[in-house]
Structure 1
Amino acid sequence: MCPQILSTTTAIRALDNLISPDQPARPVNTKCSPPVPPAPKILPHYPPPPPCPPPPNPPKLTLISPNCSP
């Protein structure tokens, strides 16, 4: 029984505990963390995209308005 084997097992157990979904704090942090780091790094390098033009929905809604109903 070498002490190295015990150390490796302990390390694997520690990783398993971190990865295991038993801890509720893990999944919550994982959802909030990934989108935060990549976004700030990409935004400063590239300028923000221009605002999208308004979709042709307002005119269609106007046609469907009570004006068309009998």
Structure 2
Amino acid sequence: MKTTRFDIEKFNGITNFNLWQVLIMTILVQIGLKKVVTEKKPENLDQLEWEELDEKILSTIQLCLANRVL
């Protein structure tokens, strides 16, 4: 399995939030999770699976926040 690393500046409250937001959405697209923040839960997806995807997104976003913002 190939791993791709994305290196963006952590949002610290001072950097440009709009740019940071675009970069986060781009990362979510690349890792296949954007649908979780932009769509409702698909009928055919188990609630537990949906919650796991939601946790993955949350952790991805949290890892891109500076400690003082988190």
> Shared topology, TM-score over 0.5?
no
Q: Which has the higher contact order (CA 8 A, sep 6+)?
A: 2
Relative to its length, the structure with more helix (as a share) is 1
User: TM-score by structure 2 length?
Assistant: 0.26
